[in-house]
């Protein structure tokens, strides 16, 4: 009596299949994890086909078919190990690890990619910046300098990453949206803006959202400002700024600087005629100084 063990052929096919998936995912850059999660029922199909094959080919012989439990166990181990490896690779953990140990950090300054504003734009929204200083520009364009953290294997690679556009502009109707950009290359290098000094046209309304630290040098601006979700707001005023600052905070303890704040449900400071408006929402620290 001969014994045929089911599972050996299935294990061999699955090893080949996982190898092909991993190889193709690296070439074509599709999600190996997603593919494996979709195809794992093929393991059951392969084992079932192997059983049917042995039944069909040995029906006239005195052969006993047994399940190769060790091979089936190895198949399951291979499945879980590969899923785990695909998950780690696609979650970005390996990229962060490689970026940490295989690259060098460079501090670099770079002029931002400029944007010429057409007459149809009446509002600028700046979203998701880290540390930013804003000044007025007489030109009808956005310009400035970014101070960047660049992680790269070589200085040449760092210069290449730093040369990429680090500001993205998107126009929607009469509004221009401005975002900072993190650039990544295939060698685990990356660049991101640490500090941004930006010049904005003096007569277009501006809204700043989701910024950690903002410095506004309020000279020659003739527009309306809204700060929403800016953790620290620092405003430097001329004595002839003619501005009204409204800070919607819970108490006067959030307000500081060398100006005299009034507080009645929200903080307010008026300079001159108060014709220009700055409204501040959802901030933890607001400092206004006159110079």
Q: Write the pLDDT tens digit of every residue in 231-265.
A: 999 999 988 888 999 999 999 999 999 999 999 99
Query: Are 215 and 234 spatial neighbours (Cβ–Cβ below 8 Å)?
Result: yes
Q: Does 154 share its domain with 281? A: yes
For position 14, what pLDDT does the model report?
Answer: 73
Q: Which domain holds residue 15?
A: 2-91
Query: Are 147 and 211 spatial neighbours (Cβ–Cβ below 8 Å)?
Result: no
Q: Does 119 share its domain with 198? A: yes
Q: Does 15 share its domain with 136? A: no
Tally of domains within the chain: 2
Q: Does 72 share its domain with 119? A: no
Q: Does 79 share its domain with 127? A: no
Among 54-68, 112-126, 242-256, 259-273, the least confident range = 54-68
Residue 26 has pLDDT above 70, yes or no: no
Residue 99 has pLDDT above 60, yes or no: no
For position 65, what pLDDT does the model report?
Answer: 60
In this structure, what token pair is assigned to residue 268? Answer: 């307010």
Q: Does 86 share its domain with 110? A: no
> Using CA atoms, how far apart are residues 115 and 204, in angstroms rounded to an integer?
14
Partner residues linked to 6 by β-bridges: 67
Domain final residue pick, 91, 113, 132: 91
User: Does 256 fall in a domain?
Assistant: yes
- Looking at per-residue pLDDT, the higher value among 164 and 1 belongs to 164
- Give the mean pLDDT of 202-228: 93
The pairing of strands 141-152 and 190-201 is antiparallel
Q: Does 69 share its domain with 120? A: no
For position 68, what pLDDT does the model report?
Answer: 61
Residue 214 has pLDDT above 90, yes or no: yes
Residue 36 has pLDDT above 60, yes or no: yes
User: Does 42 fall in a domain?
Assistant: yes
Question: How is the chain split among helix, strand and coil, in percent rounded to 5?
Answer: 30, 45, 25
Q: Does 21 share its domain with 125? A: no
Query: Are 32 and 83 spatial neighbours (Cβ–Cβ below 8 Å)?
Result: no
Domain final residue pick, 41, 63, 91: 91
Alpha carbon distances (Å) from 238 to 217, 279, 285? 9, 18, 21
User: Does 199 fall in a domain?
Assistant: yes
Q: How large is the greatest C-alpha to C-alpha distance in the chain, in angstroms?
A: 105
Answer whether 0.75 is exceeded by the pTM.
no
> Using CA atoms, how far apart are residues 259 and 242, in angstroms rounded to an integer?
14
């Amino acid at each position: 009596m001969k014994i045929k063990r089911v599972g050996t052929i299935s294990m061999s096919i699955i090893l080949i299949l996982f190898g092909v998936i991993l190889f193709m995912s690296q070439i074509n850059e599709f999600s190996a994890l997603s593919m494996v999660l979709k195809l794992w029922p093929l393991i059951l199909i392969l084992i079932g086909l192997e059983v049917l094959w042995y039944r069909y080919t040995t029906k006239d012989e005195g052969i006993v078919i047994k399940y190769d439990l060790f091979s089936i166990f190895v198949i399951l181990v291979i499945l879980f190990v590969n899923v785990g490896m695909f998950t780690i690779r696609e979650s970005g953990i390996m990229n962060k690890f490689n970026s940490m140990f295989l690259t060098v950090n460079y501090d670099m300054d770079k002029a931002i990619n400029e944007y010429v504003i057409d007459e149809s734009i009446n509002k600028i929204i700046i979203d998701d910046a880290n540390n930013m200083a804003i000044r007025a520009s007489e030109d009808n364009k956005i310009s400035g300098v970014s101070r960047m953290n660049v992680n790269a294997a070589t200085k040449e690679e760092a210069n290449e990453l730093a040369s990429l556009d680090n500001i993205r502009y998107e126009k929607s109707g009469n509004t221009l949206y401005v975002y900072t950009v993190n650039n990544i290359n295939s060698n685990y290098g990356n660049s991101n803006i640490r500090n941004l000094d930006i010049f904005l046209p003096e007569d277009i309304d501006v809204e700043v959202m989701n910024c950690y630290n903002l410095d506004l040098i309020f000279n020659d601006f003739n527009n309306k400002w809204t700060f929403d979700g800016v953790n620290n707001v620092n405003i430097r005023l001329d004595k002839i700024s003619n501005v009204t600052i409204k800070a919607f905070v819970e108490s006067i303890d959030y307000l500081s600087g060398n100006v005299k704040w009034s507080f009645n449900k929200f903080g307010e400071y008026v300079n001159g005629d108060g014709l220009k408006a700055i409204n501040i929402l959802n901030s933890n620290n607001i400092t206004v100084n006159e110079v």
